[in-house]
Structure 1
């Protein structure tokens, strides 16, 4: 589904509308810039995220997730991450084009956060995902965002990534909603663990009763 705009004013207004839509919690609508006969168009496409990553201060991978076959293997992924880090770690900009991908990134102390989109992807959408990703990590780490603290909470951060994006589709761009869903999943897990523990105690108690009666016979 495409719609072309002939004037810059129309394109600007539509870009603002698009950004407002993506800011709504739970919205999975993603719009991309494409070229059709020399005209700028907007292509309705739910899959717009190619990958998300967290690197250390040396550009080495801490955590990353890719959503399509843009890279054939882990070796190619790590090579791209290293190249991206080398190109951006001293730059003042927060967006870069690299190997046909649009990359937005943010650094904090000894951590480097990045979100990757296709070459036609709108940077506003990618920035909204990056902001949600970073703010979610900040809340998980209680504002103490550093490498050591991150390693202690990798499981929670992986849950946050799953709540933000699934198979390249944006699920959420509000960090508060992400945290609420993580809390719900944690409650479900705790309940499941308690249920298993209760069943285990019942089995043990039943075994004890059977042993007692067998000894009394």
Structure 2
């Protein structure tokens, strides 16, 4: 088996609920990978709605590149993606470990309450690298959900943050970051400044009421 000497290590990142339903799914392929016949969608990335984004055609000179840089993602349609997700969910929902080999793919997973996070890579990929990706992404999502638990309701309520966390961790199958704190800090919502003055209609009415009371007190103190 040819060793992967490129940075393209990740085939997919999946977040499924306890019933195997998709919460977030991202499928990757190198930007130089070709796609099928016209009208056949490619799957460089697919989010929770299952929409596939077409990848660019194979550029001239790409034939001489390593196969990992030109190989097309095997799950190019929504139907193929859902079939794969259901299959790995069936294989892992009662598994005692945290890694399996399924259909020439290395699948690492971690469960929490009613969610399972998966990282998928080629069969010959470095297990420790993918395990580090899985652990850091899982911890980053837990930080973003504040309670430290990756659960379905919290994921759906913060789907934008979870999706951004995945995008900050993996891009086109390349692992960008393995520090969970750094990932979370890049996508977390900024906290409102407590010293910032919020001016609205209620604020103006409160200020007017306070001013009116002070004027009345001064009039009374003056003996009027």
* The two structures share one fold, judged by TM-score above 0.5: yes
What residue number does 2:164 align with?
159
Tell me the equivalent position of 1:181: 186
* 2:16–2:23 Cα contact (<8 Å) kept: yes
Counterpart residue number, 1:127: 131
Q: Distance in 2 between matches of 1:76 and 1:124?
A: 27
The alpha-carbon distance between structure 1 residues 144 and 105, as it changes in their structure 2 partners (threshold 3 A), is: closer
1:44 aligns with 2:11: no
- Deviation of 1:44 after TM superposition, in Å, equals 2.0
Quote the offset at 1:150 in angstroms: 1.0
Compute the TM-score of the two structures, normalised by the length of structure 2.
0.63
Q: Determine the structure 1 residue equivalent to 2:151.
A: 146
The CA RMSD over aligned residues, in Å, is 1.5
**2 CA distance for matches of 1:105 and 1:137?**
14
Residue of structure 1 in register with 2:28 after alignment: 67
Specify the SS of the correspondent of 1:92: coil
Contact 2:114 2:152 in 1 (8 A): yes
Kindly state the Cα deviation for residue 43 of structure 1 after the two structures are TM-superposed. Answer: 3.9
Q: How many residues align?
A: 147
Instruction: Spell out structure 1 runs of 4+ moving beyond 6 A.
Output: none
SS at match of 2:82: helix
CA deviations 1:149-171 (Å, max 9, x no partner) are: 11100000111001100000010
Question: Does structure 1 retain, via aligned residues, the 8 Å contact 2:141–2:184?
Answer: no
What whole-Å deviation, never above 9, does each CA across 1:151-198 have from its counterpart, x for those lacking one?
100000111001100000010011011122224xx56xx9xxxxxxxx
Contact 2:112 2:149 in 1 (8 A): no
Measure how far apart 1:52 and its partner are. Answer: 0.2
Q: How far does residue 72 in structure 1 lie from its aligned partner after superposition?
A: 2.1
> What residue number does 1:57 align with?
18
- Picking from 84, 93, 96, the partner of 1:89 is 93
1:72-116 deviation digits (Å, cap 9, x = unpaired)? 201101100100010111010110011110000011110011000
Post-superposition offset of 1:54? 0.5
Matched, 1:169 2:174: yes
1:49 partner SS: coil
Gapped regions of structure 1 (runs ≥ 5): 1-33, 36-41, 191-217
Provide the residue aligned with 1:112 in structure 2. 116
Is the CA contact 2:168–2:183 (under 8 Å) kept in the aligned structure 1? yes
Q: Secondary structure at the match of 1:86?
A: helix
Gaps of 5+ in 2: 30-72, 193-224
TM-score, length-scaled by structure 1 = 0.65
